Structure 1
């Protein structure tokens, strides 16, 4: 089966490295990892790992074991080409798998999931994803998930931050959003607009003991992206951080 990111390949990696919203997501994830005391000595799982940027981040942080999982064969191929997490690090493990039916890979102390759950096509798949994550975590393990905020389109334009929503189709269990990354030429993609309440319900049903939310954090201002730029973004950001404890 082919997935939407199989056809974008290195263009997807380009969007992740240049888009402002992605820089904010990374800054948010790094802040959350720091609050946990880092990942040194932990067994870590990176879901929807894409070409492995966050997977390598975990490995460089000193994780004892790091596994990256994505449903796209093309993105996993690119991730493997990048190789290790850093000098002296063993190869990261990469696996092509559907997050709604993960094999037994753990147990892990920490799972990260950046834009995973918005790929669930229906409520059954959404709940299956959370159950798969929970089954691979130790008791007390953490899930850190970057998830899109709902109800922005058509009220806000994220084009200055690297993504543009084109249409919202109310169908199925959650609306389908048509979008593209603001590159030249644009890179199209689509995702499901799950409400935070839907995500929390799925997490609780899967057996997570706690569910919490944190707002997006933005990087320090610089000459290209000044404080006014980030202030406008924080007023209605692309994403939030969902935190769950097993």
Structure 2
């Protein structure tokens, strides 16, 4: 599970650019950043950055510094290639395990889009939150997009670009086997942590406040009308977790 994105690579980039769940996640994150007053002049950390989409969003928003971190060397190579010379000097990409993250600098804001669900066990989950807290200034914020548990087999997410195909009871929480619905589809897996597990780990790490917000959806258009997004909001893939250091 740790290095599955070394194999997924470009297919994940395709999913990010075409899947409805990814569009909803980006809209949710941008809304949360706007509600905080934006990122202009802030030092920002983007964990599980993948090919750097959200890292570049932070830089475009005026962040003084945008550091993207991912465990996958291949994803970091893609991120560096995607960035090119854009925002030269303000974007940095680092290969690192979020559960063993060094103290790189005090940051004002951290984002984590589908990071914590890859923690293989409770020890790693708590280590991830402690690493994030250690890299935030007092009063700094964490914005994390996390999957909603309990959907499979009762809810079908395939219209939105991802499908859960099996739940395997093992370890601290079930292992979910899933697919990104690209052409062809790409297999991946993650852990079905409850939101309460994330909150517990955040409190133990020293975050002072924990909050939750529902997924927001983009405006309807010809490809995805209001009925489509209404159906998505009834069984969204993710929620937004907000934490204050």
What range is the shorter-chain TM-score in? over 0.9
State the Cα distance separating 1:83 from its structure 2 match: 2.3
Q: What is the match of residue 47 of structure 2?
A: 47
- Aligned mates of 1:14, 1:84 — CA distance in 2: 19
C-alpha offsets along residues 19-40 of structure 1, whole Å, 9 cap, x if unaligned? 0000000000000000000000
Aligned residue in 2 for 1:123: 122
- CA drift of 1:2 comes to 6.7
Structure 2 CA distance for aligned equivalents of residues 208 and 17 of structure 1? 32
Does residue 172 in structure 1 map to residue 171 in structure 2? yes
Q: Alpha carbons of 1:145 and 1:95: their partners in 2 closer, same or farther (altered >3 Å)? A: same
The alignment yields a C-alpha RMSD, in angstroms, of 1.2
| Aligned equivalent of 1:138 | 137
Partners of 1:91 and 1:136 in 2: CA distance: 18
Q: Secondary structure at the match of 1:105?
A: coil
Query: How far apart in 1 are the matches of 2:106 and 2:84?
Result: 22
User: Which residue does 1:69 correspond to in 2?
Assistant: 69
Q: CA deviation at 1:89?
A: 4.2
Query: Do 2:64 and 2:90's aligned partners in 1 also have CA atoms closer than 8 Å?
Result: no
Q: Which runs of 5+ in 2 are unaligned?
A: none
Q: Is the 8 A contact 1:113 1:144 kept in 2?
A: yes
Whole-angstrom CA distance in 1 between matches of 2:167 and 2:2:
23
Q: Output aligned runs, 1:54-133, within 5 Å.
A: 54-83=54-83, 86=86, 89-133=88-132
Match of 2:244 in 1: 245
Do the aligned partners of residues 62 and 85 (structure 1) sit closer, same or farther apart at CA in structure 2, a change above 3 Å counting? farther
* Superposed CA offset, 1:166-202 (max 9, x none): 0001111111000001111101100000000000000
CA contact (8 A) 1:134 1:207 kept: yes
- How much has 1:106 moved relative to structure 2? 1.5
Does 1:211 find its partner at 2:202?
no
Q: Distance in 2 between matches of 1:8 and 1:152?
A: 24
Alignment partner, residue 31 of structure 2 = 31
**Counterparts in 2 of 1:23 and 1:8: CA distance versus 1, 3 Å:** same
Question: Aligned equivalents of 2:105 and 2:27: distance in 1?
Answer: 27
Q: Which runs of 5+ in 1 are unaligned?
A: none
Aligned 8 A contact 1:43 1:66 in 2: yes
Determine if the alignment matches structure 1 residue 227 to structure 2 residue 223: no
Alignment partner, residue 14 of structure 2: 14
**In structure 2, how many angstroms separate the alpha carbons of the residues matched to 1:222 and 1:65?**
34
Once the two structures are TM-superposed, the CA of residue 59 in structure 1 deviates from its matched residue by 0.3
Asked if structure 2 preserves the Cα contact closer than 8 Å seen for 1:48 and 1:114, the reply is: yes
Shift of 1:90: 2.6
Q: Is the 8 A contact 2:162 2:180 kept in 1?
A: yes
- TM-score where L is the length of structure 1: 0.97
> Equivalents in 2 of 1:237, 1:85: separation in Å?
36
SS at match of 1:7: helix
